[in-house]
Chains A and B, each alone.
Chain A
Amino acid sequence: AQSVTQPDIHITVSEGASLELRCNYSYGATPYLFWYVQSPGQGLQLLLKYFSGDTLVQGIKGFEAEFKRSQSSFNLRKPSVHWSDAAEYFCAVVPNYGGSQGNLIFGKGTKLSVKP
Protein backbone atom coordinates (compact mmCIF):
# COMPACT_ATOMS: atom_id res chain seq x y z
CA ALA A 1 0.00 0.00 0.00
CA GLN A 2 1.12 3.55 -0.67
CA SER A 3 2.32 5.18 2.52
CA VAL A 4 4.58 7.67 4.23
CA THR A 5 6.49 6.40 7.24
CA GLN A 6 8.16 8.40 9.96
CA PRO A 7 9.69 5.69 12.13
CA ASP A 8 10.45 7.90 15.12
CA ILE A 9 7.47 9.06 17.13
CA HIS A 10 9.50 11.15 19.57
CA ILE A 11 13.12 12.32 19.52
CA THR A 12 15.00 14.28 22.17
CA VAL A 13 18.22 16.11 21.34
CA SER A 14 20.39 18.54 23.23
CA GLU A 15 20.51 22.14 22.14
CA GLY A 16 23.38 22.60 19.74
CA ALA A 17 23.42 18.97 18.68
CA SER A 18 22.71 17.82 15.16
CA LEU A 19 19.36 16.44 14.12
CA GLU A 20 18.11 13.96 11.56
CA LEU A 21 14.46 13.04 11.20
CA ARG A 22 13.64 10.08 9.03
CA CYS A 23 11.00 9.75 6.35
CA ASN A 24 10.36 6.86 3.96
CA TYR A 25 7.71 6.60 1.28
CA SER A 26 6.37 3.74 -0.76
CA TYR A 27 5.28 4.91 -4.18
CA GLY A 28 6.18 3.58 -7.57
CA ALA A 29 7.33 6.86 -9.04
CA THR A 30 9.18 9.62 -7.26
CA PRO A 31 6.54 11.74 -5.58
CA TYR A 32 6.76 15.37 -4.66
CA LEU A 33 8.19 15.51 -1.13
CA PHE A 34 7.67 17.99 1.67
CA TRP A 35 8.54 18.66 5.29
CA TYR A 36 6.22 20.69 7.49
CA VAL A 37 6.64 21.85 11.09
CA GLN A 38 3.82 22.32 13.57
CA SER A 39 4.41 24.24 16.79
CA PRO A 40 1.99 23.57 19.67
CA GLY A 41 -1.45 24.99 18.95
CA GLN A 42 -0.37 26.26 15.55
CA GLY A 43 -0.92 25.36 11.94
CA LEU A 44 1.61 23.70 9.69
CA GLN A 45 4.46 25.67 8.20
CA LEU A 46 6.26 24.49 5.08
CA LEU A 47 9.99 23.96 5.75
CA LEU A 48 11.09 22.72 2.34
CA LYS A 49 10.04 20.74 -0.70
CA TYR A 50 11.53 18.55 -3.40
CA PHE A 51 10.11 18.17 -6.89
CA SER A 52 13.13 17.27 -9.00
CA GLY A 53 16.74 18.19 -9.63
CA ASP A 54 19.36 18.57 -6.91
CA THR A 55 18.66 15.94 -4.29
CA LEU A 56 19.81 18.15 -1.42
CA VAL A 57 17.31 20.90 -0.77
CA GLN A 58 17.61 23.83 1.57
CA GLY A 59 14.71 25.15 3.56
CA ILE A 60 13.87 27.78 6.08
CA LYS A 61 15.19 27.96 9.65
CA GLY A 62 18.46 26.24 8.69
CA PHE A 63 16.89 22.92 7.73
CA GLU A 64 17.85 20.79 4.79
CA ALA A 65 16.67 17.46 3.41
CA GLU A 66 18.18 14.89 1.11
CA PHE A 67 16.23 12.78 -1.34
CA LYS A 68 17.65 9.28 -1.82
CA ARG A 69 15.83 7.40 -4.53
CA SER A 70 17.53 4.08 -3.78
CA GLN A 71 16.28 4.21 -0.20
CA SER A 72 12.94 5.88 -0.90
CA SER A 73 13.87 8.35 1.79
CA PHE A 74 13.68 12.08 2.36
CA ASN A 75 15.37 12.74 5.70
CA LEU A 76 15.36 16.13 7.35
CA ARG A 77 18.54 17.47 8.92
CA LYS A 78 19.81 20.42 10.89
CA PRO A 79 23.43 20.79 11.99
CA SER A 80 22.72 22.60 15.27
CA VAL A 81 19.34 22.52 16.97
CA HIS A 82 17.92 25.51 18.84
CA TRP A 83 15.41 25.32 21.67
CA SER A 84 12.86 27.01 19.41
CA ASP A 85 12.97 23.99 17.07
CA ALA A 86 10.96 21.95 19.56
CA ALA A 87 7.82 21.07 17.61
CA GLU A 88 6.25 18.29 15.62
CA TYR A 89 7.59 17.58 12.16
CA PHE A 90 5.61 16.03 9.36
CA CYS A 91 6.85 14.49 6.16
CA ALA A 92 4.35 14.59 3.31
CA VAL A 93 4.15 13.43 -0.30
CA VAL A 94 2.04 14.11 -3.33
CA PRO A 95 2.03 11.06 -5.59
CA ASN A 96 3.47 12.15 -8.91
CA TYR A 97 0.94 10.80 -11.32
CA GLY A 98 -1.89 12.27 -13.32
CA GLY A 99 -4.84 13.44 -11.30
CA SER A 100 -3.08 13.54 -7.96
CA GLN A 101 -2.92 17.33 -7.96
CA GLY A 102 -2.73 18.51 -4.38
CA ASN A 103 -3.43 15.31 -2.47
CA LEU A 104 -0.91 15.71 0.32
CA ILE A 105 -0.41 12.47 2.22
CA PHE A 106 1.16 12.95 5.62
CA GLY A 107 3.27 10.77 7.83
CA LYS A 108 2.26 10.39 11.47
CA GLY A 109 4.78 12.98 12.59
CA THR A 110 7.87 13.07 14.79
CA LYS A 111 7.78 15.12 17.95
CA LEU A 112 11.08 16.84 18.69
CA SER A 113 12.05 17.82 22.22
CA VAL A 114 15.16 19.91 22.86
CA LYS A 115 17.14 19.63 26.10
CA PRO A 116 18.92 22.73 27.41
Chain B
Amino acid sequence: DAGVIQSPRHEVTEMGQEVTLRCKPISGHDYLFWYRQTMMRGLELLIYFNNNVPIDDSGMPEDRFSAKMPNASFSTLKIQPSEPRDSAVYFCASSNPGYPETQYFGPGTRLLVL
Protein backbone atom coordinates (compact mmCIF):
# COMPACT_ATOMS: atom_id res chain seq x y z
CA ASP B 1 0.00 0.00 0.00
CA ALA B 2 1.22 3.51 -0.75
CA GLY B 3 2.06 5.58 2.27
CA VAL B 4 1.60 9.30 2.64
CA ILE B 5 2.87 11.05 -0.45
CA GLN B 6 4.36 14.51 -0.39
CA SER B 7 5.57 16.72 -3.20
CA PRO B 8 7.92 18.22 -3.94
CA ARG B 9 10.58 16.49 -1.86
CA HIS B 10 12.86 19.50 -2.11
CA GLU B 11 12.06 23.13 -2.83
CA VAL B 12 14.43 26.06 -3.14
CA THR B 13 12.88 29.45 -3.59
CA GLU B 14 13.64 33.10 -3.10
CA MET B 15 12.25 35.28 -0.38
CA GLY B 16 8.90 36.73 -1.30
CA GLN B 17 7.87 33.89 -3.57
CA GLU B 18 4.81 31.75 -3.04
CA VAL B 19 5.43 28.15 -2.04
CA THR B 20 2.89 25.34 -2.23
CA LEU B 21 3.47 21.99 -0.58
CA ARG B 22 1.26 19.05 -1.42
CA CYS B 23 0.14 15.95 0.43
CA LYS B 24 -1.82 12.85 -0.43
CA PRO B 25 -2.87 10.93 2.69
CA ILE B 26 -3.23 7.18 2.94
CA SER B 27 -6.48 6.06 1.37
CA GLY B 28 -9.25 5.71 3.95
CA HIS B 29 -7.59 7.93 6.51
CA ASP B 30 -9.77 10.82 7.62
CA TYR B 31 -7.27 12.81 9.69
CA LEU B 32 -4.50 14.82 8.07
CA PHE B 33 -1.77 16.71 9.89
CA TRP B 34 0.87 19.22 8.83
CA TYR B 35 4.08 19.49 10.89
CA ARG B 36 7.19 21.61 10.61
CA GLN B 37 10.64 20.47 11.76
CA THR B 38 13.48 22.87 12.48
CA MET B 39 16.68 22.54 14.47
CA MET B 40 15.63 25.29 16.85
CA ARG B 41 12.02 24.29 17.54
CA GLY B 42 11.94 20.60 16.71
CA LEU B 43 8.70 19.11 15.40
CA GLU B 44 5.65 21.32 15.66
CA LEU B 45 2.06 20.68 14.67
CA LEU B 46 0.84 23.43 12.36
CA ILE B 47 -2.71 22.37 11.56
CA TYR B 48 -4.85 19.29 11.29
CA PHE B 49 -8.01 18.32 9.44
CA ASN B 50 -10.73 15.78 10.10
CA ASN B 51 -12.96 14.82 7.19
CA ASN B 52 -11.47 17.70 5.20
CA VAL B 53 -12.42 20.27 7.85
CA PRO B 54 -9.69 22.20 9.70
CA ILE B 55 -9.96 21.35 13.40
CA ASP B 56 -7.01 23.11 14.99
CA ASP B 57 -4.86 25.68 13.25
CA SER B 58 -3.39 27.21 16.38
CA GLY B 59 0.09 26.13 15.33
CA MET B 60 0.07 28.05 12.07
CA PRO B 61 2.75 30.67 12.62
CA GLU B 62 1.13 33.64 10.92
CA ASP B 63 -1.17 34.77 8.16
CA ARG B 64 1.42 34.00 5.54
CA PHE B 65 0.62 30.34 6.06
CA SER B 66 -2.58 28.74 4.85
CA ALA B 67 -3.72 25.15 4.41
CA LYS B 68 -6.57 23.59 2.52
CA MET B 69 -8.04 20.16 2.05
CA PRO B 70 -10.44 20.27 -0.88
CA ASN B 71 -11.07 16.52 -0.79
CA ALA B 72 -10.17 13.41 1.14
CA SER B 73 -7.11 12.63 -0.96
CA PHE B 74 -5.35 15.98 -1.23
CA SER B 75 -4.12 18.81 0.93
CA THR B 76 -1.93 21.84 0.38
CA LEU B 77 0.13 24.05 2.64
CA LYS B 78 0.87 27.43 1.15
CA ILE B 79 3.32 30.09 2.25
CA GLN B 80 2.90 33.53 0.71
CA PRO B 81 5.17 35.42 0.80
CA SER B 82 7.95 33.10 1.91
CA GLU B 83 10.75 34.23 4.22
CA PRO B 84 14.15 32.68 5.03
CA ARG B 85 12.91 31.73 8.53
CA ASP B 86 10.36 29.44 6.88
CA SER B 87 13.20 27.14 5.83
CA ALA B 88 12.43 23.78 7.40
CA VAL B 89 11.25 20.27 6.66
CA TYR B 90 7.47 20.08 6.39
CA PHE B 91 5.80 16.77 7.11
CA CYS B 92 2.33 15.59 6.36
CA ALA B 93 0.79 12.73 8.34
CA SER B 94 -2.52 10.92 8.26
CA SER B 95 -4.42 8.58 10.55
CA ASN B 96 -7.31 6.17 10.57
CA PRO B 97 -10.87 7.04 11.51
CA GLY B 98 -11.22 6.92 15.27
CA TYR B 99 -7.47 6.76 15.87
CA PRO B 100 -6.13 10.26 15.31
CA GLU B 101 -3.26 9.62 17.70
CA THR B 102 -1.63 6.94 15.57
CA GLN B 103 -0.18 8.92 12.72
CA TYR B 104 1.69 7.83 9.62
CA PHE B 105 4.16 10.30 8.24
CA GLY B 106 5.19 11.16 4.73
CA PRO B 107 8.84 11.61 3.72
CA GLY B 108 8.68 15.38 4.10
CA THR B 109 9.40 18.40 1.93
CA ARG B 110 12.69 20.14 2.58
CA LEU B 111 12.16 23.86 1.96
CA LEU B 112 14.96 26.37 1.61
CA VAL B 113 14.07 30.03 1.25
CA LEU B 114 16.98 32.18 0.12
Which A residues contact B (CB, under 8 angstroms)? 32, 34, 36, 41-46, 49, 51, 90, 94, 101-109
Contact = CB atoms under 8 A, between A and B. Distances in A.
Contacts of A34: 101-102
A46 B42 contact: no
A32 B55 CA distance: 20
B95 interface: yes
Given A102-B31, A102-B33, A44 B91 contact: yes
A31 to B, nearest CB: 9
A44 B33 contact: no
B106 interface: yes
Nearest to B41: A108
Given A43-B91, A44-B91, A106 B105 contact: no
Given A102-B31, A103-B56, A46 B103 contact: yes
Given A43-B106, A101-B31, A104-B45, 13 more contacts: A32-B101, A36-B105, A42-B107, A43-B4, A44-B43, A46-B103, A51-B101, A94-B101, A101-B50, A103-B45, A104-B103, A105-B45, A109-B42
A96 to B, nearest CB: 9
Contact of B55 (A45, A90, A94, A101): A101
B43 A106 contact: yes
A94 B56 CA distance: 14
